[in-house]
Amino acid sequence: MKNTFGNNVAVTLFGESHGECIGAVIDGLAPGMCVDNDYIRHMLSLRRPQGDFSTPRVEKDDFKIVSGILNGKTTGTPLTILIPNENVQSAPYTDMARAARPSHADYTAEMKYHGFQDARGGGHFSGRLTAAVVAAGAICKQALEKKGITIGTRIKRCAKISDREWGELKADLDTLNQKTFATLDDAKAEEMKAAILDAKSNGDSVGGILETVVLGMPAGIGEPYFDTMESMLSHALFSIPALKGVEFGAGFSLCDMRGSESNDPMQAENGKVVTTTNHAGGICGGITNGMPLIFSTAIKPTPTIARAQNTVDLDTLTDTVLEARGRHDPAIVHRARVVQDAVTALGLCDMIATHLGTDALNA
């Protein structure tokens, strides 16, 4: 249903980049869940622009929760988060408003909304809206943590530079969740940052791959059709602007394996069933198997670049050349990873509530 995701824990997103505020309503949260504003602030801070390799638009992200909470705990009724828009500079966008930015939503929004869309700063399509997603996801992520379910996302690859392999997963996740530029190997992070700055100095941008791991998910969550765990998570993930691919477990590399390689052998371990490899990414037949959930996503380079680009004028439908000037990010992969954590948390909470009921998130 358009701007709402989730069946039993549902988030509704609203707002425009240069409007009064953006926000989200989360419905279906169990009553009595702790809402920790510091944790929300922490996750928002990780999403915020950082240093030279981000847009200079400084967003304070001063959120407030105007419903669904009492004495720091959820009431069980819809929880609404508002984040005011500040430091808005519409001018640079206005100048170029009618020259469609290539690989942005300018043209598709025009086709869908017949010119009535709020084009300022990308309007409803702005990455700015992901701040509200992050705030909503933060509440879910912390609730999952209390149930022993930990989510973390790292930059697996950026500007052709790859991070190291995973070590001990729980320790790695805990470390990642404190980092502003989330790689496992700090040296690789510095290389990536340098490559981002190099692209920036050329008026260009870069993309990357994000990888998420979830520990502690119980087995048995998901549906065979059509709400498979992969279906629900990918549905949410593909709402992240710039995300163009999702693969679970070994994903596309499974294509070149044989079954004898790709199958995950099973064994009993302390009364539990585990697999000795995890090419399936923790999901078989659309349902969790109790192993770590693992998936990767493709983040395209930021489409706004400081170079001349051939495009069309939306008013005249004639060719023109666009030279962008707004404040933009030479890379968003390091910011998008927080959004990926957030939508993962929202999706998992929804599926847990579907299987175990309304109160399960606080059980």
Residue 103 binds its own copies, judged by CB under 8 A = yes
CA angle, corner 218, sides to 216 and 221, nearest 5? Answer: 130
Residue with tokens 């998008």: 336
Q: How far is CA 79 from the centre of its chain?
A: 20
Pick from 121, 137, 241, 292 the residue near its own copies by CB under 8 A.
241
CB 295 within 8 A of CB 247: yes
Return the number of the residue (93 or 125) whose C-beta is nearest its own copies: 125
For its own copies, the binding residues in 180-239 under the rule CB under 8 A are 199, 202-209, 219-228, 230-232, 234-239
Query: Using the rule CB under 8 A, is 327 a contact of its own copies?
Result: no
Residue 31 or 92 with smaller CB distance to its own copies: 31
The least distance separating its own copies from the CB of residue 41, rounded to whole angstroms, comes to 18
Instruction: Compute the distance between CA of residue 35 and CA of residue 77 in angstroms, rounded to an integer.
Output: 14
Q: Which part of the chain contacts its own copies (CB under 8 A), choosing from 87-95, 137-145, 185-193, 297-305?
A: 297-305
Q: Is 47 in the site for its own copies (CB under 8 A)?
A: no
Q: Is residue 97 a contact point for its own copies (CB under 8 A)?
A: no
Binding to its own copies by residue 90, rule CB under 8 A?
no
* 246 makes contact with its own copies (CB under 8 A): yes
Work out the burial of residue 103: count CB atoms within 10 Å of its CB; fewer than 13 is exposed, 13-18 middle, 19 or more buried.
middle
Residues 66-85 that bind its own copies (CB under 8 A): 66-68, 70, 73-80, 82
Confirm or reject binding of residue 337 to its own copies (CB under 8 A). Answer: no
Is residue 351 at the binding interface for its own copies, with CB under 8 A as the rule? no
Tokens of 156: 């697996």
The CB-of-221 to its own copies minimum distance in angstroms stands at: 8
- Crossing angle of the two packed helices 333-356 and 130-146, in degrees rounded to 10: 50
Closest CA to 93 of 129, 65, 126: 126
Helix or strand (DSSP H, E) at 233: helix 229-237
Could you tell me the sign of the dihedral formed by the alpha carbons of 356, 358, 361, 363, in that order? negative
Please name the helix (run of DSSP H) or strand (run of DSSP E) that holds residue 107, with its range, or none.
helix 106-113
Q: Give the shortest CB-88-to-its own copies separation in angstroms.
A: 14
Count of residues that bind its own copies according to CB under 8 A: 153
Separation CA 291–CA 216 (nearest Å)? 8
Chain centroid, CA 321 distance in Å: 32
Residues 11-40 that bind its own copies (CB under 8 A): 12-16, 19-23, 25, 27-28, 31-32
Closer CB to its own copies, 70 or 175, in the complex: 70
